[in-house]
């Protein structure tokens, strides 16, 4: 699997994890765990964008 495909899979998994966590905390987008997962997803997206250049 290429690095690009690996990042894509990791992003999709992180999105699902974030969705589950947001629901778990009743859509409290300021809950520390939700914020942390969101930031992790942001970092993965930035990596993907840099890789795509």
pLDDT of residue 4: 83
Whether 13 shows a pLDDT value over 70: the answer reads: yes
What mean pLDDT is predicted for residues 7-32?
Answer: 98
pLDDT of residue 7: 94
Q: Which of 47, 37, 40 is nearest to 7 (CA)?
A: 47
Total number of domains constituting the chain: 1
| Whole-angstrom distance, CA of residue 53 vs CA of residue 48 | 9
What pTM, to 2 d.p., does this model score? 0.90
Q: Which domain holds residue 36?
A: 3-52
What mean pLDDT is predicted for residues 6-18?
Answer: 97
pLDDT of residue 28: 98
């Amino acid at each position: 699997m290429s690095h690009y495909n690996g990042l894509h899979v990791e992003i999709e998994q992180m999105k699902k994890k974030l969705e589950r966590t947001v629901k778990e905390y009743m859509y409290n987008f300021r809950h520390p765990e939700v914020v942390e997962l969101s930031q992790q997803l942001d970092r993965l997206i930035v990596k993907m964008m840099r890789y795509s250049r």
